[in-house]
Amino acid sequence: MGLLSVFQRVSQSPTNPHPAAKPRTFDVADLYRGPVSTQGDTSDAGTPPLDEKLRQAYFWIVNTAIISPHYDVEYNDGPPQSFVMGDSRSRLTLPSAQSYSSFVLLPLLTFATRRKCLFIGGPGRGKTASAILMGVLGGYSVREVRRAMQHGHPQMTIADLLGNPLPADLINAQRIEDIRISWRQWLGMRVKIIDEYNRIPTRTQSALLTVMGDNYAEILNHIYECPDSAWFLTANDDQGGGTYQVIEALRDRIDVIVQALAFNPRFLRDLLSRIEENIRPEEIVPRQVVFTETEVDRMQEDIRAVKMPKEVRRRVEFFSSQFEFCEVAGDQFEYKTKDTARLAGTEWHVLTAQDTGRDRIKDLGCQTRNGVSVRVLMTLLVYAKALAYFRGNGVVELEDVRQILPFVLHDKLSPDGEAPFFDAPGNGVFRSDRIGWLRKVFDLSCADYDRLNLDRDDPVTELAAEFNRGLDGLTESDARVRLVKIERLIGEWSKGRKLYGHIYDDVLNLKYLHQRYTNYLRWLKTQ
Amino acid sequence: MPSPAFISILRSDRDEFNARFAAARHLHPDLEPDVFGEFLTTTVDELAQAVEKARADRLGDVMIAAYDAGLQLVGQRLAGPGSRFPCIEEAWRRVLSNAAPVVATAPGQLIPSVCNAVHQLASTAGARPEQWIDAMEKLGRECEDAATFLRLGQLCAWRAGLAHFRNGALAAADALPESLVLTILGAKIRTPWPAMREQFLASPWFNPGNETKPSSAVRAVAQVGTFKGYGGLFIEPPTVTASGEQLFARSDSEYWLLTADIFGATFHRSSVKEFETANQTPKLPHGLEVKGSRIAVAGERLDFPELGEIASAAANTHTLAITSRLTHAITLIALK
More confident residue, A354 or B132: B132
Answer whether B165's CB lies under 8 Å from A28's CB. yes
Q: At what angle do helices A374-390 and A310-320 cross, to 10 degrees?
A: 140
Determine contact: A262 vs chain B, CB below 8 A.
no
Measured CA to CA, the distance from residue A41 to residue B294 in angstroms comes to 53
Determine contact: B156 vs chain A, CB below 8 A.
no
Determine contact: B19 vs chain A, CB below 8 A.
yes
Determine contact: B257 vs chain A, CB below 8 A.
yes
Answer whether A220's CB lies under 8 Å from A173's CB. no
Give residue-wise pLDDT tens across range A427-476: 888 999 999 999 999 999 999 999 999 999 999 999 999 999 888 889 99
Give residue-wise pLDDT tens across range A223-279: 999 999 999 999 986 554 567 788 889 989 999 999 988 888 888 888 887 787 777
End-to-end CA distance of chain B: 58
For residue B207, what are the CA distances in angstroms to B186, B212, B215? 9, 9, 9
Q: What is the chain A residue with the closest CA to B149?
A: A32
pLDDT value, residue A68: 80
Measured CA to CA, the distance from residue B147 to residue B264 in angstroms comes to 25
Give residue-wise pLDDT tens across range A162-185: 999 999 998 898 998 899 999 999
Local confidence band at A118 (pLDDT 50, 70, 90 cut-offs): very high
**Which pTM was predicted?**
0.68
Interface of A with B in 37-56 (CB under 8 A): 37-40
Q: What average pLDDT score do residues A184-209 get?
A: 92
Answer whether B120's CB lies under 8 Å from B161's CB. no
Task: Give Cα A163 distance to the centre of its chain.
Answer: 31
Minimal Cβ distance to B112: which of A6, A20, A37: A37
What CA dihedral angle connects A61, A65, A67 and A73, to 10 degrees? -10
CB-CB neighbors (< 8 A) of B171 in chain A: 28
Across the beta sheet with B219-224, what order do the strands follow?
B219-224, B330-334, B319-324, B310-315
Across the interface, do B109 and A33 touch by the CB < 8 Å criterion?
Answer: no
**A with B: how many residue pairs have Cβ under 8 Å apart?**
110
Answer whether A63's CB lies under 8 Å from A11's CB. yes
Rounded to the nearest integer, the mean pLDDT of chain A is 88
pLDDT value, residue A3: 45
**pLDDT, one tens digit for every residue, chain B (336 residues):** 778 888 888 888 888 888 888 878 777 777 888 999 999 999 999 999 999 999 999 999 999 999 999 999 999 889 988 888 999 999 999 999 999 999 999 999 999 999 999 999 999 988 999 999 999 999 999 999 999 999 999 999 999 999 999 999 999 999 999 989 999 998 877 788 999 999 999 999 998 887 555 566 788 889 998 888 887 889 999 999 998 889 999 999 899 999 999 999 999 988 888 898 888 877 787 888 888 889 888 778 888 888 889 999 999 989 999 999 999 999 999 987
Q: Residue B183 — φ and ψ, nearest 5°?
A: -65, -45
Answer whether B158's CB lies under 8 Å from B169's CB. yes
pLDDT value, residue A1: 46
pLDDT value, residue A75: 94
The closest of B210, B203, B206 to B187, measured between CA atoms, is B210
Radius of gyration (C-alpha) of chain A in whole angstroms = 27
pLDDT value, residue A46: 56
Answer whether A322's CB lies under 8 Å from A411's CB. no
Measured CA to CA, the distance from residue A250 to residue A256 in angstroms comes to 13
Local confidence band at A481 (pLDDT 50, 70, 90 cut-offs): very high
pLDDT value, residue B214: 56
pLDDT value, residue A44: 43
Q: What is the chain A residue with the closest CA to B242?
A: A23
Minimal Cβ distance to A3: which of B20, B157, B270: B20
Measured CA to CA, the distance from residue B63 to residue B79 in angstroms comes to 17
Q: Is the ipTM of this structure higher than 0.85? A: yes
Measured CA to CA, the distance from residue A379 to residue A109 in angstroms comes to 12
* pLDDT of A417 higher than 80: yes
* pLDDT of A45 higher than 50: no
Across the interface, do A35 and B76 touch by the CB < 8 Å criterion?
Answer: yes
Measured CA to CA, the distance from residue B284 to residue B290 in angstroms comes to 9
pLDDT value, residue A435: 93
CB-CB neighbors (< 8 A) of A40 in chain B: 108
Interface of B with A in 206-235 (CB under 8 A): none
Local confidence band at A39 (pLDDT 50, 70, 90 cut-offs): low
pLDDT value, residue A41: 55
Radius of gyration (C-alpha) of chain B in whole angstroms = 23
Judged on CB neighbours under 10 Å (0-12, 13-18, 19+), A290 is middle
Q: What average pLDDT score do residues A367-372 get?
A: 92
Going by C-beta distance under 8 Å and a sequence separation of 6 or more, which residues neighbour residue B86?
Answer: none
- DSSP letter for A68, please: -
Across the interface, do A28 and B115 touch by the CB < 8 Å criterion?
Answer: no
For an interface test with A, the pick among B43, B74, B83, B116 (most A C-beta atoms closer than 10 Å) comes out as B116
Please state which of the ranges A311-315, A410-414, B27-31, B121-125 shows the lowest mean pLDDT.
B27-31
Run of H or E including B224: strand B219-224
Minimal Cβ distance to B172: which of A2, A24, A28: A28
pLDDT value, residue A8: 66
